[in-house]
Structure 1
Amino acid sequence: MEIPKAFISYAWESDEVKEWVKRLATELRNDGIDAKLDQWEVVPGDQMPHFMENSVRENDYVLIICTPKYKSKSEKRIGGVGYEGDIMTAEVLQTSNHRKFIPILKSGTKETSIPSWLQGKYYVDLSNQTHYDNNYADLTTTLFKARETAPKLGIKTRKANSSVSKEVFKPVSEDEPIKIKGIVIDEITQPKNDGTAGSALYKIPFELNRTPSYEWRDLFVNAWNRPPRFSSMHRPGIASAYGNQVILDGTTIEEVEKYHKDTLKLTVEVANKQIAEINLRKNK
């Protein structure tokens, strides 16, 4: 797997923020991501504008650590943050590569911390330890572009002693339970926001650890529509499964974070239990 390179852009607003950014970069590097940080890369005598231009343009991703101070500096074009903002917005205009730039919420809210030019993009909320524990995997899944390839084809055989020749394909055996790896951030659709019904809603894919069977997918959709437990914001009818993904089509990012993730994990567990029971009966 190709090693992803990610430059981290942040405001030098306090020692606490600098230390937090360093810990994040260290964890990313420990997980195999080539995180680039000025604290490690820049030495006295270096040209800072040259470093910032190269860092934004030469890395696969730019992780933007969003705080109220960062938003203020970015929008007022103050200091290094303002200069980096000019470089990043210019690259987006030139290449339309929106997915390269990933907002990371460090403190505040999306309204108070994310610069206006990043508003509307899916962001990764790492603003407290609970969010960090829940959402860090979403970030690494995106940086690695971790996509499963199609399973190997089964062996083609012919049913013997039949007046009609039928081809039968042996399925590949997969015993590992289905699990959700995280949100596929760079495949989230952007809402139209044109004022029509549902135009502010997102289509959000979640990557699975492997490609499930068609039978499992049907069980998952049924479990989502009628889960054993659900919140007051539950939306039946928005779940589907395709390839190695399950998809919620018609929700908001806030709803996923506050309500749907728990229901999603529960419905995956229900589908796993039901498919195990079905397979057990088949093998008797």
Structure 2
Amino acid sequence: MNNPKTFISYAWESDETKDWVKKLATELRSDGIDAKLDQWEVLPGDQMPHFMEKSVRENDYVLIICTPNYKAKSENRIGGVGYEGDIMTAEVLQTSNHRKFIPILKSGTKETSIPSWLQGKYYVDLSNGRHYNNNYSDLTTTLVNDREVAPELGKISTSKRKVNQTFNTKVISEEEPIKIKGIVIDEITQPKNDGTRGSALYKIPFELNRTPSYEWKELFVNAWNHPPSFSTMHRPGIASAYGNKLILDGTSIEEVEKYHKDTLKLAVEVANEQIEKINSIKRQRLEQEKTDKENHRKNIEDISGRINFDL
């Protein structure tokens, strides 16, 4: 197995941050991950823009160390962080390799530290000792491609088919629009209510009729953050999507009933419309490619039939 190459992007905001990043990179390297760090790679006289572009392009993964300072610099395109943000977003658009870029929460919360262009992505929380110990292995198993996978499917027996027919199991097509089935009551979290700002808010999951694509999930999060219409109580940045669920993390059931329900439905509708347009373009392109291929083949056969090699 080749050692995965990983570049670490972070803001030079303090000596403490630089030391923390170096410690993380050192630990990754000790676990067989070829972590690249500007503190080790860049020498006086080197071209920083070239180093950044090369590092983002040539490494298997990019770990983005998220702090409130990093978020501010990234969103306002300030300094090296802003330049790297441009490079990374361009890389995503060109390659669609979203999994290459992994947000790492070092300090703050996901709302205050993760840039808007990364909102909704599965992030790794290393913001304190407890989270670090619990989540570091989640990061390394991802980088070495050693995450648990689903077991192999067994063969369906005749008796199992009869059971399925008895219950009239409905198979949902991937073409069917995404819909919200309802609130997953058992998975609603408990508010802290410790007197701090936002401590009365909590996480509310919503079950979908099927598991949407990764592309749909990104469209939904973007639609929630920038809806066509919304109430004065709208909260951008609290929506995410995992599996067959949508999550609002930082609200209450009362707010959902009064304010968020309509915006939630609207964001789903917008994502459905946008994904249908994208899929329609893909289908047209595939049909055109098929037609071009058939025409090319026919042209070759016609001309080949006219070529005679007899003397």
What's the % identity of the aligned pairs? Answer: 79
SS of 1:8's partner is strand
Greater gyration radius:
2
- Render the CA deviation track for 1:34-64: whole Å, top value 9, x for unaligned: 0000000000010000000000000000000
Structure 1 alignment gaps of length 5 or more:
152-193, 201-232, 236-246, 255-284
Partner AA of 1:197 in structure 2: K
Counterparts in 2 of 1:252 and 1:137: CA distance versus 1, 3 Å: farther
Counterparts in 2 of 1:47 and 1:63: CA distance versus 1, 3 Å: same
- Render the CA deviation track for 1:99-144: whole Å, top value 9, x for unaligned: 0000000000000000000000010000000000000000000000
Question: Matched residues in 2 for 1:150 and 1:115: separation?
Answer: 32
1:63 and 2:47 matched: no
Partner AA of 1:78 in structure 2: I
TM-score of the pair, normalised by structure 1? 0.55
TM-score of the pair, normalised by structure 2? 0.50
Residues 251-266 of structure 1 mapped to structure 2, 5 A cutoff: none
RMSD across aligned C-alpha pairs, in angstroms? 3.3
Q: Which residue of 2 aligns with 1:188?
A: none
Residues 142-181 of structure 1 mapped to structure 2, 5 A cutoff: 142-146=142-146
Partner AA of 1:39 in structure 2: Q
Counterparts in 2 of 1:72 and 1:248: CA distance versus 1, 3 Å: closer
Question: Matched residues in 2 for 1:199 and 1:83: separation?
Answer: 41
Question: Matched residues in 2 for 1:149 and 1:122: separation?
Answer: 17
Question: Matched residues in 1 for 2:150 and 2:20: separation?
Answer: 39
Structure having the larger proportion of residues in helix: 2
1:78 and 2:78 matched: yes
**Deviation of 1:146 (Å):** 1.2
Question: Matched residues in 2 for 1:132 and 1:69: separation?
Answer: 20
Residues 1-284 of structure 1 mapped to structure 2, 5 A cutoff: 1-146=1-146, 196-197=180-181, 250=245
- Render the CA deviation track for 1:214-239: whole Å, top value 9, x for unaligned: xxxxxxxxxxxxxxxxxxx9x9xxxx
Question: Matched residues in 2 for 1:248 and 1:149: separation?
Answer: 15
SS of 2:46's partner is coil
Q: Is the 8 A contact 1:53 1:84 kept in 2?
A: yes
**Deviation of 1:2 (Å):** 1.7
Question: Matched residues in 1 for 2:57 and 2:31: separation?
Answer: 23
Counterparts in 2 of 1:195 and 1:17: CA distance versus 1, 3 Å: farther
**Deviation of 1:251 (Å):** 7.7
Question: Matched residues in 2 for 1:132 and 1:196: separation?
Answer: 34
Question: Matched residues in 1 for 2:138 and 2:34: separation?
Answer: 17
Question: Matched residues in 1 for 2:43 and 2:183: separation?
Answer: 48
- Render the CA deviation track for 1:144-182: whole Å, top value 9, x for unaligned: 01157999xxxxxxxxxxxxxxxxxxxxxxxxxxxxxxx
Q: Which residue of 2 aligns with 1:175?
A: none
Partner AA of 2:11 in structure 1: A
Structure 2 alignment gaps of length 5 or more:
152-177, 185-202, 206-241, 250-311
SS of 2:181's partner is coil
Number of residue pairs matched?
A: 173
